[in-house]
Amino acid sequence: MMVAIGLIALAQRKAPRHNRMVNKIASSVFTVYLILTDGFANSVIDDFIKGLDMTGWMLLLISFLLACGFFVLAVHLGFIRQGLFAVTVDRNRGHWFELVWDKATERIKRDEHKRSNAKA
C-alpha cells in the first residue's frame, strides 16, 4: 500500500508528457475493448481457439500471437474509423447535427400541425 501511494505521489510531481503516437493508439484501444466485449466476436475467438486441438505451451503461444494480431487489427480498424470520421463528419463541424436537428424539428412541427387539424 505504501509503495502504491509513493508511486502516485511520484507520478503527480512529474510534468505530464505527451506523445502523439501513444495518444493515437490509446484512442483506438477502445475499439479493441468494444470488439472483445461483443458476444459474437468473443464466441468466434473462443471457437477458433478450441478448434486448434492443441495443449500446453503451443496453445499458449498461439493464443498470445492471436491476441497480439487481433489487437493490431482492431487498432487499425480504429484508425480507419477515425479517418472516415475526419473525412465525413469533422470536415464541416456541426453541419450534420444541424441537418438532423432541422429534420427533427420539421417533423415535430408537421406532426403537431396534423394533430391540430385532426382536432378541428
Tens of pLDDT along 40-65? 887 888 888 888 787 788 888 888 88
Confidence band (pLDDT; 50, 70, 90) for 120?
Answer: low
Q: Answer positive or negative: Cα dihedral of 39, 45, 47, 49.
A: negative
- Average model confidence (pLDDT) across the chain: 81
Question: Would you say the pTM of this structure is higher than 0.75?
Answer: no
Q: What integer is the mean pLDDT of 82-104?
A: 80
pLDDT greater at residue 112 or residue 106: 106
For residues 84 and 28, the answer to whether their CB atoms sit within 8 Å is: no
For residues 52 and 102, the answer to whether their CB atoms sit within 8 Å is: no
